[in-house]
């Protein structure tokens, strides 16, 4: 029983430590992958939209110009439309928030006089910032608004463009950082706009994103397998980029580790048993020497010396008996002492 406990205690401790360590490594790896995905998505999105911003950014050459003429508007709008085939329409909004000319790919210039003075898009762009938002009528159309500045860097109007997002998969390639990973883009109406990798879109469940994914849990993904995931938001479009990859099955890994630890423990137990048998055999031999020596002394051979070099209690007992014989001359057979030693030896052998 003692040997079993000696072997099982390290097994329990090792198993617990293995499970704890595995969980820590899994969480650390998940955080690392999520951070890498977030960085890649941000870089891809930044590169994609930066190109759009550059196309629609306009600087009027004339100094101190406060109004942009119709002729200037026509020239600028036509140039922008020609530069990027993804742009579906482009218009100019003056500093008072009134839209002037509008140019689309399907029609010529029209004057709309539509007012945007209270619109968040206009407020942001007239303040000198870029605006990126979703067009209501089409999930894959977005609105980009950029300020128009003169040579003195004064904002004199806003260029508003409607852009048809094509090749949405261009957001995704660099985010597939784990083997077996796939990615997809979800719009604000919970529709999948694009995806990359091997996945079954019929398995899509938005509630999983709201519950398991955001809480860091593993879940059943589009691959119908247990996955870990990362989610990132695209600007203020309320679109999500979701990346999923096969999760490490902690229970399977635990099972493998437990088998390995069990084998090591069995080997350790075998070694302990062998060492214990060797030690017990040595103790038994020394006890037999002590018994035989006592028999010789009890038969009257007082010249005999008990020599048991064990450097423990047995050696001390032998020395004490030798001194007792020299002092008192032991001539009577001490059966009680011999019997006690024999019983002790038998008890030890039974335990082993």
Judge contact between 91 and 102, C-beta under 8 A.
yes
- pLDDT single digits (tens) 272-309: 778 777 777 777 777 777 777 777 777 666 667 777 77
Q: DSSP labels for 24-52?
A: HHHHHHHHHHHHHHHHHHHHHHHHHHHHH
According to CATH, the topology of domain 57-166 is: Beta-Lactamase (3.30.450)
Judge contact between 181 and 205, C-beta under 8 A.
no
Which stretch of 59-73, 146-160, 248-262, 317-331 has the lowest confidence by average pLDDT? 248-262
pLDDT of residue 240: 82
d(CA 309, CA 318): 9
pLDDT of residue 347: 60
According to CATH, the topology of domain 2-48+169-248 is: Beta-Lactamase (3.30.450)
pLDDT band at 158 (very low <50, low <70, confident <90, very high): very high
3-state secondary structure of 123: helix
Judge contact between 318 and 294, C-beta under 8 A.
no
Judge contact between 40 and 175, C-beta under 8 A.
yes
What is the sign, positive or negative, of the torsion defined by CA atoms of 26, 27, 28, 30?
A: positive
Mean pLDDT score, 328-333? 51
pLDDT band at 113 (very low <50, low <70, confident <90, very high): very high
Assess whether the region 2-48+169-248 and the region 57-166 belong to the same CATH fold: yes
Of residues 241 and 65, the one with the higher pLDDT is: 241
Q: Is the predicted pLDDT of residue 148 greater than 90, yes or no?
A: no
CB count in 10 Å sphere of residue 171: 24
Of residues 210 and 2, the one with the higher pLDDT is: 210
Radius of gyration for the alpha carbons in the chain, expressed in angstroms and rounded: 43
Going from N- to C-terminal start, the domains of the chain cover 2-48+169-248, 57-166, 252-351
Mean pLDDT score, 156-174? 78
């Amino acid at each position: 029983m003692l040997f079993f406990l000696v072997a099982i205690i390290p097994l329990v401790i090792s198993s617990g430590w293995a499970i704890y360590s595995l969980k820590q490594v899994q969480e650390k790896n998940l955080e690392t992958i999520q951070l890498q995905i977030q960085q890649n998505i941000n870089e891809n999105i930044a590169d994609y939209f930066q190109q759009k911003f550059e196309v629609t950014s306009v600087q009027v050459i004339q100094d101190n110009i406060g109004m942009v003429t119709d002729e200037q508007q026509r020239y600028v709008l036509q140039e922008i439309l020609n530069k990027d085939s993804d742009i579906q329409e482009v218009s100019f909004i003056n500093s008072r928030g009134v839209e002037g000319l509008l140019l689309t790919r399907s029609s010529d210039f029209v004057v709309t006089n539509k007012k945007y003075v209270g619109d968040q898009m206009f407020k942001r762009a007239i303040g000198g910032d870029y605006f990126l938002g979703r067009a209501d009528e089409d999930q894959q159309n977005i609105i980009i608004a950029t300020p128009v500045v003169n040579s003195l860097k004064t904002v004199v109007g806003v260029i508003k463009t409607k852009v048809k997002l094509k090749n949405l998969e261009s957001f995704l390639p660099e985010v597939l950082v784990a083997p077996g990973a796939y990615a997809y883009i979800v719009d604000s109406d919970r529709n999948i706009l694009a995806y990359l990798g091997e996945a079954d879109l019929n398995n899509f469940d938005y509630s999983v994103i709201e519950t398991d994914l955001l809480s860091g849990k593993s879940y059943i993904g589009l691959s119908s397998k247990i996955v870990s995931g990362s989610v990132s938001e695209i600007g203020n479009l309320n679109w999500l980029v979701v990346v999923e990859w096969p999760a490490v099955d902690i229970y399977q890994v635990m099972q493998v580790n437990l088998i390995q630890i069990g084998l090591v423990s069995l080997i350790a137990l075998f070694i302990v048993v062998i060492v214990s048998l060797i030690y017990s055999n040595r103790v038994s031999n020394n006890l037999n020497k002590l018994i035989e020596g006592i028999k010789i002394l009890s038969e009257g051979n007082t010249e005999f010396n008990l020599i048991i070099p064990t450097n423990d209690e047995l050696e001390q007992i032998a020395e004490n008996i030798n001194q007792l014989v020299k002092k008192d001359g032991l001539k009577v057979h001490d059966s009680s002492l011999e019997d006690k030693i024999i019983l002790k030896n038998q008890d030890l052998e039974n335990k082993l």
